[in-house]
A and B are shown apart, each in its own frame.
Chain A
């Protein structure tokens, strides 16, 4: 028995030695990790992330690789599914950093995963850019974590101001998922902004539910009774159709306003005509886009058959930010820790990056300063530009 154990250990050690030798001999490949919700609650978000990343990779391959310091490097994407769960996102980041030796990570998208996954990326000193996470905690005190979008403390007041200016309402209701970082954070920010404008108690109903709930009838009955004029619900596309239809069935006839989580291509597909005419704040509006944004939309639609949502556009921008940072870093040494640090420093230095979702310059915290868009779902079910608000 002992002999077998010894032989096994020796065999393993030899195998390890050879594989590591083989590894060292290989040419340097730049690996970019993608941490996306391919399954779970919001698979459409994962799909948009993956498609945008593949489009970006196709561009790099067409150019014969990524040129850094006069040398072309092969690029490889490591796509991991985080199942839309916080713990899986952490696991995916750990794996990509420690086993796959990725140079930078794009994702996770929603704050529920981005907040805990950012912790890991920062700890192991690997650049992580979350394209879509708007919760402040994602990048807070984490020099290695960046994002591609505006923050909830900015988005909340934008929505509150928009409702006030557009409708002249003074009483609002909020319905949100208390078990998810993004809706909870945004609901709080909105409430604060609304009450600062219209006085304490002007949010007349502040109701919550938990992830996976499908019945909101008691909360909505309360909201209808509260005399609120508008309902704000910062939920994802799998909940929005249920909330909208149940609200209407319980006698709600005021407007329902959402946030950037509505921006998925699937919201209208699942919700149908019930969602026509509603507003939400977002990162970009596909209908009526111009220039590079339009080129991206057309190419995406031609390849995948539908108009890209904000997640795809932000992922595209995040990848191009990472690309520029790698190129700005000047050279790839092959020593991963050193390269990661160089990429981080280069990324923090980027000024006035011209993305398809707007111009971006990073703050100290790794958050870009950029504008928000108010989108109206028009009567063809398209996301139409309605107005914008800049910091």
Chain B
């Protein structure tokens, strides 16, 4: 009986690990899918928008912790950091759309994709020039409490990451399904040629989409800073690419798909390392994804037309 409980706990512990990792992939990959839905292109700068968002969060958190500690309880500081960071980071999204993608709206899609990579490099080196190559340590917004429940370890930070990510995705779902702006975004992803003729301007919907994606990414950045508190200008590259894989796996343009595939990616990565030697983790994990895509080239929820169209 004992070893059975032990291995059950072991699996449960890894499920929690995977949920945390998957939350980041899910929230970030949604940003890719939203932009794809509206503009039919992947914003390759998204990983670096996440990075910039994390640095903004770092700045805001540092200032708020210095000014507000003692005046208001920590959860309020946390909430204020999230709200202000989200607001500022969405302007980064708007900037990327207006400065990077709008001038290339009529250009071949490949040019627009390359633009994303360029913007990403500009952000990375820009942060490098402004702040130097020194690593920064994200200040903890709350004291870590480690709970030990029946052989499983979970910290309040971990629980918070999982819960806030879910709440964010639910809020986004409500925004897209219930509001006028959300409806406009859905309409645009359905037909981006006819909808502008109905008086919904792409020049408003596109920056809005970028803003929402960047806002989400920046909250992911704050949470990331709590879980992995070391910031560097290239932190968004690998995470961005993996989230992009999740976006493809979920089906281009499908937000639900991106979220689910993000969690799936987290589970595959964690459990492959659990079962096989960890040296083979990425090799096996991404081979599995390759096999899935071979049999489902459109991903889980991709629409048929989306694979035929453009990039």
Contact = CB atoms under 8 A, between A and B. Distances in A.
Interface of A: 38-41, 43-44, 46, 178, 207-210, 212-215, 217-219, 221-222, 225, 237-238, 241-242, 245, 248-251, 266, 269-270, 272
Task: Classify chain B's interface size.
Answer: 35 or more
Contact of B278 (A39, A43, A207, A266): A207
Given A218-B270, A238-B230, A242-B228, 14 more contacts: A43-B133, A208-B277, A208-B279, A213-B238, A214-B235, A218-B274, A218-B281, A221-B17, A238-B135, A249-B144, A249-B155, A249-B157, A251-B148, A270-B135
A209 B17 CA distance: 15
Nearest to A215: B21
Interface string B270-285: 1101100111011000
A44 B230 CA distance: 14
B298 interface: no
Contact of B133 (A39, A210, A272): A39
Query: Chain B at the A interface: mostly helix, strand, loop or mixed?
Result: helix
Interface of B: 6, 10, 13-14, 17-18, 20-21, 128, 132-135, 137, 144, 146, 148, 153, 155, 157-158, 227-230, 232, 234-235, 237-238, 269-271, 273-274, 277-279, 281-282
B229 A222 contact: no
Contacts of A218: 14, 17-18, 269-271, 273-274, 278, 281
A36 to B, nearest CB: 11
B7 to A, nearest CB: 9
Given A221-B13, A266-B135, A242 B155 contact: no
A269 B13 CA distance: 30
Nearest to B136: A270
Contact of A217 (B137, B148, B232, B270): B270
A217 B21 contact: yes
Given A249-B146, A270-B137, A242 B230 contact: yes
A212 B47 CA distance: 14
Contacts of B227: 215
Contacts of B135: 43-44, 237-238, 266, 270
Nearest to A220: B17
A217 B17 contact: yes
A219 B282 CA distance: 13
Contacts of B232: 41, 238
A208 B135 CA distance: 23
B278 A248 contact: no
> Nearest 5 pairs between A and B by C-beta?
A43-B133, A217-B17, A218-B273, A214-B228, A39-B133
A225 B274 CA distance: 11
B134 A43 contact: yes
Nearest to A44: B134
A383 to B, nearest CB: 18
Contact of A178 (B21, B158, B230, B279): B279
Contacts of A209: 278, 281
